[in-house]
Structure 1
Amino acid sequence: MESREGPLLDAFVRLADTLIVDYDVVELSQELVEACVRLLGVAQAGLLVTDHRGALQVLAATSEQTHLLELFQLESAHGPCLQAFHTGIPVPVHDLAAAASRWPEFARRGLDSGYLSIYAVPLRLRSETIGALNLFGMSKSALSGEDLRLAQALADVACIGILQDRMRSRAETLNRQLRSALNTRIVIEQAKGVLAERGQLDMDQAFHRLRDHARSNQLRPADVSAGVVSGELDTSAILARPTNPSG
């Protein structure tokens, strides 16, 4: 194989760019499988990644044939990619025909598609595995040990990008929840002030009146507060309730 130093550096730069700029995880995954085909001389590649429930999904493939074979692995719950995901260890299958006893139906389908070897590489970061990369060869022993190490390195870079995207998404969700909670608290404080002024109550009494009204009407305190502040809710019913300091 011709020197691949230049293409290899380019592939790592393109994958590493996802760590510092806005990017699409699907595009990152597609870049990974296409880079593997370009750099490793395999025929096709596919990628399985866990969703928010922890279930594996096909995220990228270099051909429809590969995509269908990956889907078959998921539906049948057997195959080298599943093994690599569950163990976190690469699964090299240098001769797919010889592995028919391990995955009979998967091996038959792979051989029917023209693949003679398959290599599964986990997407992992330390103890966390979030998916697996499948490399399909048209010859036996299509990949060397060096090729497998390179495939693992590419998968590791992509894994970092995917995990970073998930952490950012979780952080954004938490920030939205926090902003919502703070905004809700502001509205509740405003409603307490309205009730305290109209009913000549202290702030604790106003809060208990508001919360008791919400509970008795199976409403959220935030919704009752919003109605009080906007004037859409008649406060006389709330103020007529006896004060319950114990809440």
Structure 2
Amino acid sequence: MSMMDEAGGGLTLPELLCRSARRQLGAAAVGLAVMAADATSELVAASDPAAHELEVLQLTLGEGPCLEAFRTGRLVQLAELGTGEQRWPAYSAHLRERGIGAVFAFPLRIGGIRLGALDVYRGHPGTLSDDDLSLALHFVDAAVVVLLHLQDPASHQSLDDPRLEEDVEGFTLHPEVHQATGMVSVQAVVSLHDALLLLRAHAYVADRSIIEVARDVVARRIDFR
């Protein structure tokens, strides 16, 4: 069984990630996009049709938090919709029409390499709490790994982002994780470090523990090829 089939309903991992992020963050919508160096964009996934529409609007209008997050490499926060009217006048008007009160765009990057952005839309104004910000950053980590794997699993480089480091001591009592990491390394043609990151990303997206995912890999119910 493939990762896509096991994860549910034929949905891709990016789509599942967006849906999981929307649910766990209590968001109105979540969108994920990749971009090229010239800022041309291709929508990868969205949590629902509303999110898809909001993402496409940014690409159509050529303005919005997603494009700004990609360009600057920094988190873009629009906690009060009115504050975005001068930065993105056309896009802000569309957000208001759709009942969006706040939007947060997280850049997806590895070192100096920019990949795209993860957008979180909320139906009410206000900043993200510390807990929600921490959770959102976990989804950013997962999105980076998923995108790298989907783009070219055979040419992964070692990831230098310290936020992606795993405390392997936490798995000393769970040999299934170590065994699954080796299997994923062979299946996806990546290093052991990157294989562990893929296990973590799949666990985040599927709302399961890494031990459960590892056991399915060992039992060959999930295949990372």
TM-score normalised by the shorter chain: which range applies? 0.5 to 0.7
Q: Which residue of 2 aligns with 1:107?
A: 92
Amino acid aligned to 1:101 = Q
In 2, distance between residues paired with 1:52 and 1:84?
13
Q: Which residue of 1 aligns with 2:43?
A: 58
Deviation, structure 1 residue 169:
5.5
| C-alpha spacing 1:38/1:142, structure 2 compared with 1 (3 Å) | farther
Q: Counterpart of 2:121 in 1: which secondary structure?
A: strand
Equivalent residue pairs, number: 152
Deviation per CA, 1:149-182: give whole Å up to 9, x if none.
32122112221222133232669xxxxxxxxxxx
| Match of residue 135, structure 2, among 131, 135, 150 | 150
Matched, 1:36 2:29: no
Structure 1 residues without counterparts, runs of 5 or longer: 1-16, 172-247
Matched, 1:123 2:77: no
| C-alpha spacing 1:53/1:66, structure 2 compared with 1 (3 Å) | same
**Higher helix fraction (1 or 2):** 1
| Match of residue 82, structure 1, among 50, 62, 67 | 67
Q: Which residue of 2 aligns with 1:223?
A: none
Is the CA contact 2:30–2:51 (under 8 Å) kept in the aligned structure 1? yes
Kindly report which structure 2 residues correspond to 1:147-226, keeping only aligned pairs within 5 A, or say none.
147-168=132-153
Q: Counterpart of 2:149 in 1: which secondary structure?
A: helix
Deviation per CA, 1:20-45: give whole Å up to 9, x if none.
x99xxx71111111111111111111
Structure number with the bigger relative contact order (C-alpha 8 A, sep ≥ 6) is: 2
In 2, distance between residues paired with 1:56 and 1:84?
13
Is the CA contact 1:32–1:155 (under 8 Å) kept in the aligned structure 2? no
In 1, distance between residues paired with 2:38 and 2:86?
31
Q: Percent identity?
A: 31
Deviation, structure 1 residue 54:
6.9
RMSD of aligned C-alpha atoms?
A: 3.0
Deviation, structure 1 residue 70:
0.9
Q: TM-score, normalised by structure 1?
A: 0.55
| Match of residue 82, structure 2, among 80, 97, 118 | 97
Q: TM-score, normalised by structure 2?
A: 0.60
